[in-house]
């Protein structure tokens, strides 16, 4: 059934999907904290998103959000439009040449599993990335020695103004945890390429990754994944541990005792407390080792609430 066309109050254009004013982000952001989106939009498909972006006042901020697995939403919420892609953007298909085409809403584990079932190796590391393909493309997500730049062939973007373009990986200007995806653009699809592999061997490697994550990371907690980028030649968690930050708390925000590069919401932490805890960790690491940690988690929105 086609969703009814929704026309929210100005300045937003109509959308065939849904638009929610003051839409909750804390309902699905992994930390379960933060204020609402001024407008939370879920487009029906790429054409719907393109039309919406073509008609949207360019002065209105637009930000895509996947599952919020590497995100702090500040307590005052996010001005403008937050785009969350629905299940129609999560299709994954196998193509010739050991290639996997994935909608930006597909989870990394889904892509890795489909590749495994098709006898495609090289994408196993996506099993260890707890976010969507769109987020992985945008931030050049990586784990277990590989990153998105190693396997991405091209990505399709919906750009500010409504144009939909397919960019080769080289145009994305990948560096460590960074890409040249423009602000206000929405990744809608990605094409990955692996290599011929044995189904059982690929499955074994995925199982190893899953077991290692379970053993070393607080996966069942309210967290935001890796908080800080690894500095050149060092591990962020080791610097944090050496600075005496393991278990450090501000209210219900805590540095994980299981993995020091994870921050936790123990229950009632605010986004402000989580962010302040991160800044305190940065101060202590700088004082102890002289290394200035850089945030890996994206922090968005306005303070207060």
Task: Give me the CATH number covering residue 260.
Answer: 3.90.78.10
Domain boundary among 87, 109, 132: 87
Tell me the residue range of the domain where 138 lies: 89-201
Q: Please report whether residue 206 resides in a domain.
A: no
Tell me what pLDDT residue 220 has: 83
Residue pLDDT tens, the chain, 305 long: 334 444 444 579 999 999 999 999 999 999 999 999 999 999 999 999 999 999 999 999 999 999 999 999 999 999 999 999 999 999 999 999 999 999 999 999 999 999 999 999 999 999 999 899 999 999 999 988 899 999 999 999 999 999 999 999 999 999 999 999 999 999 999 999 999 999 999 999 999 999 999 898 898 899 998 999 999 999 999 999 999 999 999 999 999 999 999 999 999 999 999 999 999 999 999 999 999 999 999 999 999 86
Catalytic residues, by residue number, are: 177, 226, 296
pTM of the model: 0.92
157 and 183 fall within a common domain: yes
Q: Please report whether residue 1 resides in a domain.
A: no
Q: Please report whether residue 129 resides in a domain.
A: yes
Determine what percent of the chain is predicted with pLDDT higher than 70.
Answer: 96
292 and 263 fall within a common domain: yes
Alpha-carbon gap, residue 154 to 172, rounded angstroms? 9
117 and 76 fall within a common domain: no
Which residues lie closer than 8 Å to 256 by C-beta, 6 or more apart?
218, 221, 223, 246, 262, 263, 264
Q: Strand 298-300 relative to strand 71-73: parallel, antiparallel, unpaired? A: parallel
101 and 120 fall within a common domain: yes
Q: Please report whether residue 213 resides in a domain.
A: no
Tell me what pLDDT residue 298 has: 94
pLDDT tens for 201-228 read 999 999 999 999 989 889 889 999 899 9
Tell me what pLDDT residue 10 has: 56
Domain boundary among 37, 72, 87: 87
- Residues facing residue 141 across a β-bridge: none
Q: Please report whether residue 272 resides in a domain.
A: yes
Q: Please report whether residue 43 resides in a domain.
A: yes
195 and 285 fall within a common domain: no
Question: Is the peptide bond prior to 55 cis by the omega test (within 30 degrees of 0)?
Answer: no
Extract the tokens encoding 65: 């959000």
177 and 263 fall within a common domain: no
Domain boundary among 34, 62, 87: 87
Q: Please report whether residue 71 resides in a domain.
A: yes
Q: Please report whether residue 4 resides in a domain.
A: no
Could you give the number of structural domains in the chain?
Answer: 3
134 and 172 fall within a common domain: yes
185 and 100 fall within a common domain: yes
105 and 48 fall within a common domain: no
252 and 229 fall within a common domain: yes
99 and 176 fall within a common domain: yes
Q: Write the CATH number for 76.
A: 3.30.43.10
CA distances from 198 to 55, 145, 201, 203, 274 (A): 48, 20, 5, 8, 43
Tell me what pLDDT residue 1 has: 33
DSSP string, the chain: -PPPPB-PSTTPPPBSSEEEEEE-STTTSTT--S--EEEEEE-SSHHHHHHHHHHS-TTS-EEE-SS-TTEEE-TT-EEEEEE---GGG--EEEETTTEEEEETTSBHHHHHHHHHHTTEES-GGGGG--SBHHHHHHHT-EETTEEHHHHEEEEEEEPTTS-EEEEEGGGG--BTTB--PPTT-EEEEEEEE-EE--HHHHHHHHHHHHHHHHHHS-TTSEEEEE-BPPPTTS-HHHHHHHTT-TT-EETTEEE-SS-TTEEEE-SS--HHHHHHHHHHHHHHHHHHHS----B-SEEES-S--
Q: Write the CATH number for 109.
A: 3.30.465.10
Bin 219: left if φ > 0, else alpha if -120 < ψ < 50, else beta: alpha
179 and 101 fall within a common domain: yes
């Amino acid at each position: 059934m086609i969703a009814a066309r929704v026309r929210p109050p100005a300045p937003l254009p109509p959308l065939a999907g849904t638009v929610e004013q003051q839409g909750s982000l804390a309902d699905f952001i992994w930390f379960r904290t933060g204020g609402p989106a001024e407008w939370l939009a879920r487009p029906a498909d790429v054409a719907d998103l393109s039309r919406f972006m073509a008609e949207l006042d360019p002065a209105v901020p637009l930000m895509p959000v996947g599952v919020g697995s590497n995100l702090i939403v500040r307590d005052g919420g996010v001005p403008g439009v937050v785009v969350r892609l629905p299940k129609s953007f999560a299709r994954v298909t196998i193509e010739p040449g050991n290639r996997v085409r994935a909608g930006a809403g597909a989870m990394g584990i889904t892509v890795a599993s489909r590749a495994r079932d098709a006898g495609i190796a090289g994408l196993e590391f996506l099993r260890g990335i707890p976010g969507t393909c769109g987020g992985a493309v945008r931030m050049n997500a990586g784990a277990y020695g590989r990153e998105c730049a190693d396997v991405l062939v091209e990505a399709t973007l919906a750009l500010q103004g409504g144009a939909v373009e397919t960019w080769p990986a080289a145009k994305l200007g990948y560096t460590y945890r960074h890409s040249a995806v423009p602000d206000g653009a929405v990744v809608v699809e990605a094409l990955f390429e692996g290599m011929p592999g044995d189904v059982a061997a690929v499955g074994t490697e995925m199982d190893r990754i899953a077991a290692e994550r379970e053993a070393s990371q607080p996966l069942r907690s309210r967290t935001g994944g890796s908080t800080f980028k690894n500095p050149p030649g060092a591990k962020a968690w080791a610097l944090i541990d050496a600075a005496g930050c393991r278990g450090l708390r501000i209210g219900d925000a805590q540095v994980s005792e299981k993995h020091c590069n994870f921050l936790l919401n123990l229950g009632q932490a605010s986004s402000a407390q989580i962010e302040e805890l991160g800044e305190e960790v940065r101060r202590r690491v700088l004082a102890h080792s002289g290394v200035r940690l850089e945030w890996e988690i994206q922090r968005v929105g306005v303070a207060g609430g």
